[in-house]
Structure 1
Amino acid sequence: MQNQQRKLDDESLHIIKELQQIPESKKNFLTEIYFDVAITFGKRTEYRMLYFNFKTRKIFFLRHAKVREEILFSSLSQVGLDDKIKIIWNDLFGNATTHYIITQSYSDTVQIFYLLRTLSFHPLSRFFEEDFKHDIVKKKYSVKCKKRGQTAWAHRQMIIYNGEFILFGDNPHVPLTICPLSSKVSFNIHANYILEINTAIRKIILSFSNDQELNMTYNTLMTCEQFIRPPVIIKVRTFTSNKLAYLINSCRDICIKNMLYPDECVEHFAILCEILRAVTKKRSVTQGNKKEIMIEEDEYLKKPQTGKKIIYPEDELKQYCLTDDPKKYYKNFISVGKGGFGDVYKVQRMDEQGYVALKVLKHSVEERSEKMGVEVARMKLWNHPNLIKMIGCWLFGNQVFISMEYCSLGTLKTIIKSQPMPLQDIAYVIQCSLKGLEYIHKQGFIHRDIKTTNIMLDGNYDVKIIDFGLVVRINSNPSNRAGSKSYMAPEVIKQIPYNEKVDVWSIGCVAQELFETQPPYKEHGVIKGMFKTAVYGAEGLRDITKVPVDFADFINKCFIFESKDRASCTELLTVCCLILISL
């Protein structure tokens, strides 16, 4: 018996129409969805059930209801569409893997592409159930059957909906086969109650108990049809069209190399240019005479006035400095760190009463006298057990030398490289860091460079915040970009006026790095990470299945996009106490 023309029944059409008219305010968030596809793994192609789980933020590749592979939403880097869906995802260290997904219908392609691409923009994206359930609005028929496998027949429960049929095995919650009933699907009835189903990617052979069940199945299928979704429309597909045509070549290459999407770059063009200026150190990153582009970039370059600069007597460097050679006081210089600021040495006191850290600032006094004064003044005047304490300061040979407490256990960055940090230790470190930051904020300052290399542990496991080279007064209304790119709050990246809440964002990045070994978006590179942070905010914890609720809540409070709604250090200390109590 050959395939006939299929036509969806009127009742299903009516239900679908009503579904499309539901206002967004009354829709339900999508929690999970399955698609039956073929996926490439290198040179081989295998069947998989593609399972999106929005509670765990993971994509699972299932085979016979068992997980074969899984991908975190946060690892999705780029999703493209040609004759197949192309996905590129990065592991935690930035190593890329590419898969191609072959679907059974164009409507499946549209749905999967939309989900994957949106999640690659931001892994916390939400979707509505009502936008994806058009093919299962009406259950039409359920029947037991057998499906032919490679070596044997297997028992299945077949459920036919208005737009697809599903085959289940022993587990009624996990589908083994989904067949969208698109125009590509055909049916043929054979002897011995056999139904042959040909799809775009496979042939399905089903066996029924009797002629009545076979005919009922066939006749029901002939009243089913998959909902036809509108085609995918991407307004900007290349970096040589629209506003992007006015980027200078080197900046266009940066965008392509970092797998940014042309359409989101056009939509957030001013932010893109701001980030490109930050990484290229160029005043302008566009070319040509297109008036609106020049106006847009010029407007963004106009930074708010920060008011008249005030020189504070307490920040005068020389009042804190001795003028003789620090080598009179210390011996056995051992280099323990280098950076843009200069060099750090572990040195021994001349009386051999222990070790200190000696920081030799890179720039001469004439170049950075004011900034050096601010840093030294803070170390001298601030007094808190979680802030590094200055022991002495010297101005010798036109260079500044600062001796301070020596932290023998090193930075947090160094510690987590050698071994994972238990959650209880993370909570302790973050709690101590917050106490230090709370003190800084109450003194009227912002640290602006909180990161795992600027928090250390001494020999007694006491936590010390170090490096006050970028501290600034809150009342100076800062808006300039400062700090380390992977730890910057959105407002810092965009160079709009900010306050002490930027340190809260950074402490969230530190907490996430201590738990997952990398700060937000690190696997996607600094440029893409900055762009996503500025546009969408933080990605949140990559794998929320591995953390207690209180810790996830802490991270979420740090990463609130609007700084006015972001928690303060005082509020976060309460959450830290709850975490420590619960562990």
Structure 2
Amino acid sequence: MSKTTAPEMVWKLSDFEIGRALGKGKFGNVYLAREVKSKYVVALKVMFKADLTKHKAVHQLKREIEIQSHLRHPNILRLFGYFYDDNRVYLILEYAKEGELYDKLRKMHAFDNQTAANYIYQIIDALECCHSRKVIHRDIKPENILIGANGDLKIADFGWCVHSPSSRETVCGTLDYLAPEMILRQPYNEKVDLWCLGVLTYEFLVGKPPFEHKDQLVTYKRIVNVDVQYPNEVNDLARSFINGVSLL
């Protein structure tokens, strides 16, 4: 889809054939689509301007577009371009044929050691790319990781991403994956993504996040105290890795 890299290209909805819905988000839906001339298949994320304005998410979307469009890595979902009309904003995204990693994890309950290690290696590689460009994702979790046609993972949903400053105190992301410094409203940096990596590894192997509890206050306390309780099936190497990234 070479046309998407041309800065002078102005896209419009009629440039695409729209197919089935792939998913639903807070501000709109994602559809399977095909660019008319090249027949290249993409995912088209359609968001309503009114919803973006209502939830004060316009700046967030602009930041997401600016950051994700410049990231090039096989394990990061590609943002080819965007366009808009009177009512909607459209993001032209790489199509990850196998869908959300979350769905695969729920279906299998947990991954075996080899699968988990392979997946974590790919996420590490993608995060190294992000951090080398001073980008913090801030919301790494199974729902925000997609699977491509060849089985490779793709980090997606850069809605909470930010260019890393020397310190940052904004609380964002998903409760089970929040780092202690976020909960304590302390300055933080790209290491919050590494904390998420430890939580993700645990969830891959056990089937649920390590601090999950029906009482949110208990979850907060367990995170701040780094209270990780391992089932017997988690081996020593995995425990060492999780503890290592959690205590950075």
Structure-2-length-normalised TM-score: 0.87
Identify the residue that residue 356 of structure 1 maps to in structure 2: 42
Paired position in structure 2 for 1:192: none
Q: 60, 85, 103: which is aligned to 1:414?
A: 103
Alpha carbons of structure 1 residues 412 and 525: separation in structure 2 relative to 1, 3 Å: farther
Partners of 2:162 and 2:8 in 1: CA distance = 21
Residue aligning to 2:3: none
Give 1:424's aligned residue: 114
Tell whether the 8 Å contact from 2:136 to 2:193 is kept in structure 1 after alignment: yes
**Structure 2 contact 206–234 (Cα < 8 Å) conserved:** no
Give the 3-state SS of the residue equivalent to 2:69 in structure 1: helix
Match of 2:124, SS state, is helix
Matches for 1:125-204 after TM superposition, within 5 Å: none
Residue aligned with 2:165, SS: helix
Deviation at 1:559, TM superposition (A): 1.6
Q: Aligned to 1:554, which of 241, 245, 248?
A: 241
Does 2:125 match 1:435?
yes
Q: How does 1:165-244 map to 2 (within 5 A)?
A: none
Distance 1:341 1:484, change over 3 A: farther
Between the aligned partners of 1:341 and 1:538, the Cα distance in structure 2 is 35
Structure 1 unaligned blocks of 5 or more: 1-319, 561-565, 567-583
For 1:518, which of 172, 194, 208 is the aligned residue?
Answer: 208
Equivalent runs, 1:275-290 vs 2, <5 Å: none
Q: How does 1:50-65 map to 2 (within 5 A)?
A: none
Distance verdict in 2 for CA 1:485–1:337, change over 3 Å = same
Q: Name the SS of the counterpart of 2:151 in structure 1.
A: coil
1:422 offset after TM fit, Å? 1.9
Cα separation, 1, equivalents of 2:27 and 2:199 = 22
| Secondary structure, counterpart of 1:381 in structure 2 | coil
Are 1:322 and 1:395, in contact at CA under 8 Å, matched by a contact in 2? no
Q: Quick one: distance in 2 between partners of 1:354 and 1:473?
A: 31
Amino acid at match of 1:373: K
Q: Distance in 2 between matches of 1:362 and 1:393?
A: 14
The one-letter amino acid paired with 1:548 is: N
**Structure 1 residue 463, shift from structure 2 partner:** 1.4
- Secondary structure at the residue paired with 1:522? coil
Question: Are 1:329 and 2:15 counterparts?
Answer: yes
Which string of whole-angstrom CA distances, capped at 9 and with x for unpartnered residues, describes residues 164-209 of structure 1?
xxxxxxxxxxxxxxxxxxxxxxxxxxxxxxxxxxxxxxxxxxxxxx
Q: 1:471 aligns with which of 161, 168, 171?
A: 161
Number of corresponding residues:
239
Call closer, same or farther: CA 1:437–1:538 in 2, change over 3 Å: farther
User: How many Å separate the matches in 1 of 2:118 and 2:157?
Assistant: 21
Contact in 1 for aligned 2:140/2:193 (Cα 8 Å): yes
Residue aligning to 1:537: 226
Instruction: Answer yes or no: is the 8 Å Cα contact 1:323–1:395 preserved in 2.
Output: no
Residue of structure 1 in register with 2:59 after alignment: 370
Partner in structure 2 of residue 339 of structure 1: 25
Residue 381 of structure 1 corresponds to 70
Q: For residue 369 of structure 1, report the CA deviation from its aligned partner.
A: 3.6
1:351 offset after TM fit, Å? 4.7
**Aligned partner of 1:347: which letter?**
A
Point out which structure has higher relative CO (alpha carbons under 8 A, 6+ apart).
Answer: 2
Paired with 1:324 and 1:383, the residues of 2 have a C-alpha distance of 21
Structure-2 separation of matches of 1:529 and 1:523: 6
SS in 2 for 1:346: strand
Pairwise CA RMSD of aligned residues?
Answer: 2.3
Deviation larger for 416-425 or 523-532? 523-532
The letter of the residue matching 2:243 is N
8 Å CA contact retained: 1:322, 1:394: no
TM-score normalized with structure 1 length: 0.39
Whether the aligned pair in 2 keeps the contact of 1:358 and 1:401 (CA below 8 Å) is: yes
Shift of 1:468: 1.0
Counterpart in the other structure of 2:149: 459
- For the 8 Å contact 1:409–1:415, the answer to whether it is kept is no
Paired residue type of 1:374: R
Distance 2:134 2:38 in 1: 38
Match of 2:174 in 1: 484
Whole-Å separation in 1 of the counterparts to 2:190 and 2:151: 27
* Aligned equivalent of 2:188: 498
Tell me, yes or no, if the aligned pair for 1:322 and 1:393 is still in contact at 8 Å: no
Q: 2-side partners of 1:491 and 1:554: how far apart?
A: 20
Report the CA distance between 1:538 and its aligned residue. Answer: 3.8
The answer to whether the 8 Å contact 1:336/1:344 transfers is yes
- Which residue of the other structure, out of 509, 516, 522, is the alignment partner of 2:199? 509
> Which of the two has greater strand per residue?
1
Residues 321 and 395 in structure 1, CA contact (< 8 A), matched pair in contact too: no
- The change in CA–CA distance for 1:322 and 1:520 in structure 2 (over 3 A counts) is farther
Query: Following the alignment from structure 1 to structure 2, what is the Cα–Cα distance between the partners of residues 404 and 324?
Result: 13
- Deviation per CA, 1:190-237, whole angstroms, max 9, x where unpaired? xxxxxxxxxxxxxxxxxxxxxxxxxxxxxxxxxxxxxxxxxxxxxxxx
| C-alpha separation in 2, matches of 1:462 and 1:453 | 15
AA paired with 1:559? Answer: S
5+ residue gaps, structure 2: 1-6
**How far apart are the structure 1 equivalents of 2:126 and 2:106?**
24
8 Å Cα contact 2:171-2:182 kept in structure 1:
yes
Please tell me whether the aligned partners of residues 48 and 87 of structure 2 are also in contact (alpha carbons under 8 angstroms).
Answer: no
Q: Deviations over 1:422-475 (max 9, x none)?
A: 211110111100111111111112110100111111011111101111111221
Q: Give the counterpart letter for 1:359 in structure 2.
A: K
